[in-house]
Structure 1
Amino acid sequence: MAEPVGAAAGGAIQDRGTRRPALSPSRASDFKQCPLLYRFRAVDRLPETPTRAQVRGTVVHSVLERLFGLPTDQRDPERARALLAPAWAELQEQQPELAELFDGPDDPELARWLESASALLESYFELEDPRRLEPEACELRVETELDSGVLLRGFIDRVDVAPTGEIRLVDYKTGAAPREIGEAKAMFQMKFYALVLWRTRGEIPRQLLLMYLASKQRLAYAPDETELRRFERTLEAIWQAILRAGRTGDFRPNPSKLCDYCDHKPLCPAFGGTPPPYPGWPEPDPGEESVLDRTD
């Protein structure tokens, strides 16, 4: 394992690791929301307790990815429901602690939870027919370096490419259609992916499509070059602010209504808490997204 990356004398960040720090949509959103939240997640890497809703979103994403791996004539609601239990079992194998969300396999709450996941899958089929689609990629890991040196990395739920070459990026949301704050955060994520694809392939995606399964709604958006250039400057500014904070450990809290949903509220000085000692700039890569990051 590579040595940790810490702050050098004089405040310069030393990179002793084998992988450079990168910026992901989730971590960029964290820093915008609250710099201290970014530190807790990306630098301290404090554990968080996933909710049943988050894990359900992960399972639904996995089922949809598996569905598109099947021949087109097998992509129906019945097959999607059949994929649900194996996807949940595989996720538990990868993260055994998730089994603690329920009191064993006979917990009636587990049955209701699986049924709610099945309902989300049924909603998906009301929004589109996967038998008429042949995505270029599902759960695509993307990475690019901007001219400024900022490394961007993330996962795209689905990439569709039309016969004429136009690109559509699709993201599934398992929560209800959001209010203004949630919608802005979701579109921030999609613009991030659009920028990465543009810088990687030289073509701006024709459409960014958010599919809200719980409310059975679609939100489509067409980005343009001027907007993506402006967004690129925004990401560069966020990254520079992260580096400045990383040199000193000065990640300040930004209290908001969202604090009530934060696992780390007891450690936040805005609420009388004390953060752990600053460990220095992290290694490995603080831009890597977890499985749960890729749901909502």
Structure 2
Amino acid sequence: MAQGTGQATEQDATRRAEQGTFAGMPVPLYPASPSRLMAWLDCPRRYRMQYLDRPRPEARAQRAHTSVGITTHNVLRDFWDLPELQRTPDGVGELVRTSWIDLGFRDAEQSAAWRQRVREAVVEYLRGMDRTRQPLGLERSVALRTGSITVTGRVDRLDDRDGELVVVDYKTGRQVPTEDDTRTSLPLALYAAGVARTFRRPCVRVELHHVPTRTVVAHEHTTESLDRKIDEAESIASDLRRVDADFGERGVESSSFPPRPSALCTWCDFRAHCPEGQQMGPEKSDWAGLDSDSYAQSALHATGGN
């Protein structure tokens, strides 16, 4: 999901949905996004700080692996805007250079090394694709409306493969996704359902593309499995409607947002404001999320950009 302005719009819509209604009026649809739903499942305390607290607690500075991920996504988006003759390794290199985000790295040397690794990984990822076949959508916003919720999300890439719509989500982290990750992913299922509603065409295939290793894992949903995921989203949103209202009445004194301590606490952007999270171990460094091994695999197969 987009951050910044998009998040503010979603928060405003949530406040409007929480306002009281006159007797006989329908209950407003709950506005959500896949990231908002997943934040609640990860940790109610973090959800409150990220989406409800005003003023919002200050989050930690951006980590290096986030800079790598954002840069990679931006390059894979902008690549398709290049003229076909410029869709080359040199073209990718220039996009990486101009898109590079120099935040969170240990020093300038580490940043430069990762910039080169991202270039090599994206080149190798794109090498196996038909670079003349334009995606149907890039960072395309889609929406889904049910009887109780509205869900908006943004798809990294939407392909039209001989009439079949396919949702593609890029991954750049250290963990290589599995088929089970694709099958069980609530965001991917909601994207597929949103694409089907937006384009009025069936969309059941979802894919996770791990750019560093060029791993692609796919799952073919059915109408029934997508309906189950929509039911899951509605159930989570029902909980959120309740706790949002409780927060509106009690603020930070609400007991609806207990912390959920886990290993994720050492990575949490709001750890400084959560004593329970601080007890889960030392905070990770800004560059701890970088996985040299996965990008090194790409570098071994790179051809020097020719």
Q: TM-score, normalised by structure 1?
A: 0.74
Q: Which moved more, 1:55-64 or 1:204-213?
A: 204-213
Which runs of structure 2 are paired with 1:72-87 in the superposition (5 Å)?
Answer: 72-87=84-99
In the TM superposition, residue 142 of structure 1 has moved relative to its aligned partner by: 1.7
Q: Structure 1, residues 168-224: CA drift from partner, whole Å, max 9, x if none?
A: 111111124446799369832211201211232333314211110122211011111
CA distance in 1, matches of 2:170, 2:201: 23
Q: Structure 1, residues 62-116: CA drift from partner, whole Å, max 9, x if none?
A: 111111112334322221111111122xxx6xxxxxx553689xx2222112112
What is the match of residue 260 of structure 2? 254
In the TM superposition, residue 25 of structure 1 has moved relative to its aligned partner by: 1.5
What is the match of residue 125 of structure 2? 124
CA distance in 2, matches of 1:84, 1:248: 45
Unpaired runs of at least 5, structure 1: 93-98, 274-296
Instruction: Indicate if the aligned counterparts of 2:155 and 2:167 stay in contact, CA closer than 8 A.
Output: yes
Matched AA of 1:31? W
What is the match of residue 23 of structure 1? 32
Instruction: Indicate if the aligned counterparts of 1:206 and 1:222 stay in contact, CA closer than 8 A.
Output: yes
In the TM superposition, residue 50 of structure 1 has moved relative to its aligned partner by: 1.6
Which runs of structure 2 are paired with 1:40-119 in the superposition (5 Å)?
Answer: 40-44=49-53, 45-46=56-57, 47-88=59-100, 101=104, 107-119=108-120
CA distance in 2, matches of 1:223, 1:185: 8
In the TM superposition, residue 6 of structure 1 has moved relative to its aligned partner by: 9.4
- Secondary structure, counterpart of 1:101 in structure 2: coil
Q: TM-score, normalised by structure 2?
A: 0.72
Q: Which moved more, 1:246-255 or 1:176-185?
A: 176-185
* Number of aligned residues: 254
Instruction: Indicate if the aligned counterparts of 1:73 and 1:131 stay in contact, CA closer than 8 A.
Output: no
CA distance in 1, matches of 2:182, 2:38: 10
Structure with the greater relative contact order (CA < 8 A, sep ≥ 6): 1 or 2?
1
Q: Structure 1, residues 5-28: CA drift from partner, whole Å, max 9, x if none?
A: 8989xxx93289xxx863112221
RMSD: 3.4
CA distance in 1, matches of 2:31, 2:84: 36
What is the match of residue 277 of structure 1? none
Matched AA of 2:45? L
CA distance in 2, matches of 1:110, 1:147: 48
Instruction: Indicate if the aligned counterparts of 1:124 and 1:213 stay in contact, CA closer than 8 A.
Output: yes
Q: Structure 1, residues 104-139: CA drift from partner, whole Å, max 9, x if none?
A: 9xx22221121122132133125x324142111111
What is the match of residue 133 of structure 1? 133
Unpaired runs of at least 5, structure 2: 1-7, 22-28, 248-255, 280-306
CA distance in 2, matches of 1:208, 1:170: 6
| Structure 1: 4+ residue segments shifted above 4 A | 1-8, 179-182
Instruction: Indicate if the aligned counterparts of 2:177 and 2:208 stay in contact, CA closer than 8 A.
Output: no
Matched AA of 1:143? A
Instruction: Indicate if the aligned counterparts of 1:207 and 1:220 stay in contact, CA closer than 8 A.
Output: yes
Matched AA of 1:25? P
Q: Structure 1, residues 20-71: CA drift from partner, whole Å, max 9, x if none?
A: 8631122211111111111111123432422111111111111111111123
Matched AA of 2:215? Q
